[in-house]
Amino acid sequence: MQSLKHFKRVATDWFLWGMVLATVLAYFFPRFGATGGSMHAEYVIKVGVFVVFFLHGVNLSSEQIKRGLTNWRLHVMIQVFTFVVFPLIWLACQKLLGSYVPALLMLGFLYLCALPSTISSSVALTDSAGGNVPAAILNASMSSVIGIFITPWLVSLVVGTGAGGIDLGDTLLDLCAMLLLPLVLGQLMRPLLGKFFARHKKYTNLIDKLVILLLVYAAFCNSMISGMWQSQGNSVILTAFIGTALLLAVILFMTTRTARALKFDHADKVA
């Protein structure tokens, strides 16, 4: 009975079907949503992300922010999973399955396991699932900065050469413009707008999800324009899909068990 409820929930979740629709639209209309296309996705998404973090600034109380930022056990767990557990899982898979998986695909999985999550999508998904948003914001930002140093080093351990780096100053500037500025503005406007958006919280969640769908659509449009999918055989695409799904399942199992062992509440488990 419980499994039937879960199935109905998934089957009627417009956001999941929106993800499917975004990929289908990207397949048929890639130029519209690609960088430099008619939609100008690179600008629309930046505006959307700015609005998302502004709304988070309006909706979050100072007490919520303080409580989220001082939960050091949660922060340590997230960073350890991001930069230690993920790469170790890749290493185990490479040892066991490396001879069966194409080398370039295995390298792609390495980047997947070595890179931190994107700030906008991780925060938006955390909020839509009722998670600890301040903690998600802090950890997504922190991992982006740490990743400047750790990710190239992790990749270089495998490929044997420098994997290239990202300019620290540019990254910090982007974080301030995309995250810190709208959050501060939202906090400043909270006395005026807080009650209004508290009554209309569902619209904040809607905007979060729409921005994620835009990100997915634009990313797939760019990948279609680059010819990445066309240059791969069906077996490689299927392997990538199955591998990603299995990796997600393993990580969800491990993080859920760890969060329970640390006695985190629901919001922290989601974050």
pLDDT of 218 reads: 93
pLDDT per residue over 115-166, tens digit each?
988 877 888 788 878 888 888 888 988 888 888 889 888 888 888 665 555 5
Cα dihedral across residues 164, 243, 15, 232: positive or negative:
positive
DSSP annotation string for 227-265: TTTTTS-HHHHHHHHHHHHHHHHHHHHHHHHHHHHTT--
Topology of domain 2-270, CATH:
Na+/H+ antiporter like fold (1.20.1530)
pLDDT in tens, 69-99: 888 999 999 999 999 999 999 999 999 988 8
Q: Is the pLDDT of residue 11 over 70?
A: no
Which has the minimum average pLDDT: 59-73, 151-165, 183-197, 209-223?
Answer: 151-165
- Confidence at residue 185, expressed as pLDDT on a 0 to 100 scale: 94
Q: Name the burial class of residue 145, with classes exposed (0-12), middle (13-18) and buried (19+) by CB atoms within 10 angstroms of its CB.
A: middle
What are the residue ranges spanned by the domains of the chain?
A: 2-270
pLDDT level of residue 188 (50, 70, 90 thresholds): very high
Local confidence band at 6 (pLDDT 50, 70, 90 cut-offs): low
Q: State whether the Cα torsion 34-149-68-249 is positive or negative.
A: positive
Q: What is the DSSP letter of 177?
A: I
Calculated CA dihedral for residues 120, 122, 180, 58, nearest 10 degrees: 90
pTM, entire model: 0.79
